[in-house]
Amino acid sequence: MKNNLNNKQNRTYNVFLNSTAGVAGYFVSMLANFAFRTIFIYFLSIEYLGVNALMTNILSLLSLTEMGISSAMTFSLYEPLANNNREKINVLLKYYKKMYLCISVIILCLGLLMTPFLNFFVESKPNIPESLEFIFVLYLMNTAFSYLIIHKHSILIADQKSYIVTLWTNVFLILRYIFQIGALFLFEKFIPTLIIQLLLTFLGNFYITKIAEKRYPFIKEEVIGELSNKDKADLTSKIKSMLLYRIGSYLVNSTDAIIISKFVGITAVGMYSNYTMLFTLSTSLINYVSFALTPSIGNQVHDQKIENVYSVFKVLFFIFFVIATITTIGFVVLINPFIHLWIGEKYLLADITVVFLVLNYYFLIMRRVIVSYRNALGLYEDTKFKPILEALVNLVASLILQHYMGVTGVVIGTTVSILTVSIWIEPYILYKKYFKIPFYKYIYNLFGYTVFTIFISIVLITIRNLFYSNTIINFILMAIFSILFTLIMIVLIFRKVPEFQDAYKRVMLLINR
């Protein structure tokens, strides 16, 4: 009993450390990234921002060869770690090393083959002195070489020590930004920042590998055995289950910048990337919350009746509605004034483009609870073709609409894929297969929440347009007013709803504890 209690306390302590490191690292890296981007824009032209966004998205395409191996690796290490089976751990790590070496070679070869055709991805050659091909090779080396020495990181993650990986990854990330900022002041050139990125990425991965070897000395031993055919088959099955989701996720989230570069221009990509950076910062923080939910949901679905699970689901769905509404309204009201104050009016996108960017963000956050339940219940098989269908709709719609509406058309293409595919398939499977509750109840709640958010957004945009002037003080006052007004309206409209009352009790109980 005492050992079980100690194990439970250790797990709780590790969860606390992992969560704290994740959130703290997020804020520090966010500030460092923001500082670097501000100085980057000051010293270099907006076309460099577009080049950076384009290269990142192209390399994301090549990184699809990773196919979710890291997730499968971590999952496969749980059992041998629990049983202290060092031989099995070493055999797995040996196998992962071979796989990552293959991935690194494949990415490098595909990237080099793609290099002569980079001009295909840009509407016109960017007005920069550096060779686009040389810039791409530096990005390519950073991606390919990073896979060579990271296979041992997985033992830290599987052993609930991911806070170590997070901590040192962020330390080297911050060092990278500091050196890159220094290089911009000294040279006012783009290439030195890429060389620094390459060196610091490699050094960070190398240092974390040494930490893993120090904590688990046995992983440095020579490995004679090989992974069994059964284990290889199990691992391959897990990888396949992730592959379609990775491909679909890439095609939905990473092709917009490539389409904009090809048909609109590299400058438009730079402007677009400033907005997507801000949305990514917000979703990254919210993802820490949703990822933490998955293990708890997994325990609950095995320990409680479906009625109780559904009751908790509705509360969580309401909580994420509150989060989505507050952040969505913040973006739709304040993102253009923020960009204006931050880097100037010439970097602004049209209001209609911003509206659809924010709408896409809203539905992304509203889906987080659905995704957490999908992961906890393992509903991948029933929804495996959903990401591919969503990606195809997004790609076709974006290509057609960009012809008529430019950047706005590309963004609306994503909205079309969300409304026709993404918004209903996974919740439909969840309601039909697990909850066994009519699907219209989900649609009814989502529709009501969305109408409320749109209404509050219109009210606050009207107030902003009537009274707002673009100064830092007015920006802060508008932000405070928007948050308070939204919260007050949520309380007034939803205070008698059971989900609100249950959520309030849970939050107060957590605060008291």
Q: Write b or e for each residue in 284-305: b if 16 or more Cβ atoms lie within 10 A of its Cβ, otherwise e.
A: ebbbebbbebbeebbeebeeee
Q: Which is more confidently placed, 390 or 462?
A: 462
pLDDT band, very low/low/confident/very high, at 300 (cuts 50, 70, 90): low
Whether the per-residue pLDDT at 19 is higher than 70: the answer is no
What pLDDT does residue 191 have? 94
Whether the per-residue pLDDT at 238 is higher than 70: the answer is no
In a domain, 234, yes or no: no
What pLDDT does residue 424 have? 87
Given 192, 227, 262, which residue is the final one in a domain? 227
Domain limits for position 465: 242-513
Q: Are residues 309 and 340 in the same domain?
A: yes
How many angstroms separate the Cα of 145 from the Cα of each of 51, 55, 101? 21, 16, 9
Q: Are residues 215 and 269 in the same domain?
A: no
Question: Which residue in 365, 95, 47, 37 sits closest to 230, CA to CA?
Answer: 95
What pLDDT does residue 134 have? 93
Read off the tokens for 55. Answer: 């290269």
In a domain, 464, yes or no: yes
Given 227, 259, 294, which residue is the final one in a domain? 227
Q: Are residues 246 and 195 in the same domain?
A: no
Q: How far is CA 370 from the centre of its chain?
A: 16
Whether the per-residue pLDDT at 287 is higher than 60: the answer is yes
Read off the tokens for 407. Answer: 């950047």
Q: Which is more confidently placed, 284 or 339?
A: 339
What pLDDT does residue 100 have? 86
Question: Which residue in 389, 416, 412, 388 sits closest to 402, CA to CA?
Answer: 412
Average pLDDT of 188-205? 94
pLDDT band, very low/low/confident/very high, at 7 (cuts 50, 70, 90): very low
Q: Which is more confidently placed, 501 or 182?
A: 182
Tell me which H or E stretch contains 505: helix 498-512
In a domain, 213, yes or no: yes
Q: Are residues 311 and 370 in the same domain?
A: yes
Q: Say if residues 377 and 301 touch (Cβ distance below 8 Å).
A: yes
pTM: 0.76
Whether the per-residue pLDDT at 211 is higher than 50: the answer is yes
Q: What is the pLDDT of residues 383-428, one digit of tens each?
A: 767 777 888 898 899 999 998 999 999 999 999 999 998 888 889 9
- Domain total in the chain: 2
Q: Are residues 218 and 313 in the same domain?
A: no
In a domain, 237, yes or no: no
Q: Are residues 253 and 217 in the same domain?
A: no
- DSSP, collapsed to helix, strand or coil, labels residue 379 as coil
What pLDDT does residue 71 have? 63
Q: What is the Cα Rg of the chain in Å?
A: 24
What pLDDT does residue 4 have? 40
pLDDT band, very low/low/confident/very high, at 16 (cuts 50, 70, 90): low
Q: Are residues 109 and 215 in the same domain?
A: yes
Side chain identity, residue 45? S
pLDDT band, very low/low/confident/very high, at 359 (cuts 50, 70, 90): very high
In a domain, 371, yes or no: yes
In a domain, 64, yes or no: yes
Given 167, 194, 227, which residue is the final one in a domain? 227
Q: Are residues 268 and 170 in the same domain?
A: no
**CA 329 – CA 185 distance, rounded (Å):** 37
- Asked which of 75-79, 182-186, 487-491 is least confident by mean pLDDT, the reply is 75-79
In a domain, 232, yes or no: no
Helix, strand, coil abundance in the chain, percent, nearest 5: 85, 0, 15
Where do we find the tokens 């253009």?
A: 336
Q: Are residues 316 and 422 in the same domain?
A: yes
In a domain, 235, yes or no: no
Q: Are residues 290 and 217 in the same domain?
A: no
DSSP state string for 423-439: TTHHHHHIIIIII---T
Average pLDDT of 340-354? 90
Whether the per-residue pLDDT at 352 is higher than 90: the answer is yes
Where do we find the tokens 């076309």?
A: 47
What pLDDT does residue 15 have? 54
Q: Which is more confidently placed, 279 or 82?
A: 279
Q: Are residues 198 and 255 in the same domain?
A: no
Question: Which residue in 506, 513, 511 sits closest to 322, CA to CA?
Answer: 506
Q: Which is more confidently placed, 77 or 407?
A: 407
What pLDDT does residue 6 have? 43
Tell me which H or E stretch contains 458: helix 440-467
Q: Are residues 268 and 366 in the same domain?
A: yes
